[in-house]
Amino acid sequence: MEILFIGYISAGFPSQVEENLLESISMEEWLVKNPSSTFLVKVAGESMVEAGILPGDYVLVDRAIPPKNNDIVVVRIEDEWTMKYFIREGERIILKPAHPKYPTLHLLPEKDIEIFGVVIAVIRKYR
């Protein structure tokens, strides 16, 4: 799907904006670099609200991207799924929430853990 890109808008102080048809953007091509390894997941829970990911949002997850420190990842731990910041410290994997009421998880790789993929976009519909 192509969407017309007409310019920039200030999210700070009001400023004049000229409507100029700059280009059209394919949302699919812009968001999804690896179509065969990218999945859409609906968010339940509040552990990532301070990262701007709210319950009811959708996240695009790319399984082809190896996680780097501070990437947001979708992870399976034993038989449960979660989404957290990924941090590797030596042999340990730390999964850190973006909400103070949720615990930080300290894991060793030999535990039953699977990094499903890296979150590449958040999609929120307002209406």
Known active-site residue 125: no
DSSP secondary structure string for all residues of 70-125: T-EEEEEETTEEEEEEEEEETTEEEEE-SSTTSPPEEE-TTSSEEEEEEEEEEE--
- Does residue 87 sit in helix, strand or coil? strand
The one catalytic residue among 36, 84, 111, 125:
84
Known active-site residue 15: no
The one catalytic residue among 36, 42, 47, 125:
47
DSSP secondary structure string for all residues of 61-76: EETTSPP-TT-EEEEE
Burial-class residue 20 by CB neighbours within 10 Å (0-12, 13-18, 19+): exposed
Which residues are part of the catalytic machinery? 47, 84
